[in-house]
Amino acid sequence: MKHLDLVFLWHMHQPDYRDHGAVGTGPEVGGGGTATGEFVLPWVYLHAMKDYVDMAAHLERHPQIRCVVNFVPVLLDQIEDYAQQFASGQFRDPLLRMLATPDLDRISETDRNLLLTTCFRSHHVTMLAPFPHYKRLHDIYLLIDHKSETACRYLSGAYFSDLVTWYHMAWTGESERRRNPLLATLMSRGEGYDADDRRQLLASMGELIGGLIPRWRALAARGQVEISSTPNTHPLSPLLLDFHAARESLPDAPLPFSAAYPGGRSRVVAHIDAARISHARRFGVPPVGMWPAEGAVSEDFVKYLAAADCHWIASGEGVLKNSLAASGISDPRAAFRPWKLEKAPGLTLFFRDERLSDLIGFDYAKWHGRDAAEHLVVQLEAILDGAAGNETPVVSIILDGENAWEHYPYNGYYFFEDLYGLLAEHPRIRTTTYAELLARPKPPVATVLPRLTAGSWVYGTLSTWIGDEAKNRGWDLLCEAKQSCDLVLASGRLDSAQVAAVNAQLAICESSDWFWWFGDYNPSAAVASFDSLYRRNLARLYRLLQLKPPAHLDTPICAGSATAEGGSMRRGTISQT
């Protein structure tokens, strides 16, 4: 009987939302103050207790299902940071401080505004409307919002207590709601939450987040999950190596004024090495494979991955199509088998099935869970039935492991219950991992790819991170800072601890997420937040170098982003408020 090998890769990533604070004296760019390690936005811990917990619980209920889960080191850093905050009770996230505040009648105007602008950020159809008491809080807010400057002052501490409690309950995973009697009790009551209720909720959240990484480690230890990694802070590595990589898929793409990113090769190596060290520290061994940030690859980049003993990587199907088209090849089933490059021996390339991945990411949320699960299985059966001879198709379903589920009823609980249940019993579909595939006595034969056209999992190009005025401006600012970095480090005037701090801050500035958000197609409030935090990070880098930040870092990169410091910065998600 012919089989199909199915690999789910759930990519877990959030950028570094911490304002690491000013260095020395003087105001911080963007009005960030001097608070060290203050979290600007709460998405790491919210997604941790809703999505990273739920995704683990789905697998724990279905031990026959195997998959790859990709954790970016900078996300793990922040999860551990939050675990320490819960353990100590000293919160550097302003929203958690509000949840922990005993008397919400006496909070400042700034804190009241924080709660009102934060605690309705979610997908309202699935995370607010189903809860009448929470929805009533929103209705009250809508009645008084914008009526006058003083209207919101009529809201009491009791209102804010219910609001901050409901927001955190709405951001808990469905699996946890079914397991935890505290949540059932609080949600059933619906209102009138006091400081003790909030204290209990806070303690429950701390247990969840503190146990999260060990929970995934246990899934990996029993062989159900392969945990992979991404270079340290999620850099767009092909562009760190060569800006002209953007023109391999878009020949007319505008590029930054800077000819290239200074010292990009050493920086890519540093990100790869840091990820391997991080992974080994947390999970016992280095990762077998990596999901490059944004699935972005180039021939130059994959050689560095192969040299670092990376055995597999994955990317988008658009990259494979562009690569084959450059050699005059068209193959509609090309993504159903592994590939190799002669220039990167020992490295196997897998490519995402865009249609099936996007059905889960964007379409199935509107379906009944059972119907969606059955439809996906039928699509997989059709791929298997179309296989020639003894071919065993390898299908890769790859998408973010957090952002889609808030659009699903019950955070996707019934979809996963039905999908994993159907796959566990299916006689011809085997869920597996890339490491397991490659470790078989007879691993799938990889086809030689004549060339690899640089691109990402978004459109098969790099246009989401380079090519328009704001994105290119962001790169030029980073290049300017990196040149200063190189000069100061070469001077030898910094000691080893100072050099380490500079390199850590530089890595934060090299994250792909800054460039993803630059552009007028994103919500202006989110752009403003990211624009400001990026410039504050660059300013901090200069101060760590003992240099005065350039005055132009006071100017927003994106036109119109000089105002609101709000909005969701989560990948691929726009909050509805």
What secondary structure does DSSP assign to 437-454, as a single string? HHHSSSPPPPEEPS----
Asked if residue 573 has pLDDT above 50, the reply is no
Asked if residue 24 has pLDDT above 70, the reply is no
Q: What would the mean pLDDT of 65-74 be, rounded to a whole number?
A: 98
pLDDT at 560: 64
Residues 228/9, Cβ–Cβ less than 8 Å: yes
3-state secondary structure of 199: helix
Angle subtended at Cα 549 by Cα 544 and Cα 550, rounded to the nearest 5 degrees: 155
Q: What is the pTM of this model?
A: 0.94
Q: Residues 6 or more apart from 542 whose CB is under 8 A from it?
A: 481, 484, 548, 549, 550
3-state secondary structure of 89: coil
Residues 52/13, Cβ–Cβ less than 8 Å: no
Residues 45/93, Cβ–Cβ less than 8 Å: yes
pLDDT tens by residue, 443-481: 999 999 999 999 999 999 999 999 999 999 999 999 999
Q: Could you tell me which residue, 148 or 553, shows the higher pLDDT?
A: 553
Q: What would the mean pLDDT of 176-202 be, rounded to a whole number?
A: 98
3-state secondary structure of 8: strand
Residues 397/8, Cβ–Cβ less than 8 Å: yes
pLDDT at 149: 67
pLDDT tens by residue, 250-299: 999 999 999 999 999 999 999 999 999 999 999 999 999 999 999 999 99
Among 13-27, 151-165, 274-288, 456-470, the minimum mean pLDDT is found in 13-27
Residue 146's pLDDT band (boundaries 50, 70, 90)? low
Asked if residue 170 has pLDDT above 50, the reply is yes
Asked if residue 246 has pLDDT above 50, the reply is yes
Average pLDDT, the chain: 93
Distance in angstroms (rounded) separating the CA atoms of residues 326 and 460: 13
pLDDT tens by residue, 93-107: 999 999 999 999 999
DSSP 249-280: T-TT----SSSS-TTHHHHHHHHHHHHHHHHH
3-state secondary structure of 535: helix
pLDDT tens by residue, 379-421: 999 999 999 988 999 999 999 999 999 999 999 999 999 999 9
Asked if residue 154 has pLDDT above 90, the reply is no
Asked if residue 505 has pLDDT above 80, the reply is yes
Residues 29/536, Cβ–Cβ less than 8 Å: yes
pLDDT at 220: 98
Among 13-27, 151-165, 362-376, 386-400, the minimum mean pLDDT is found in 13-27
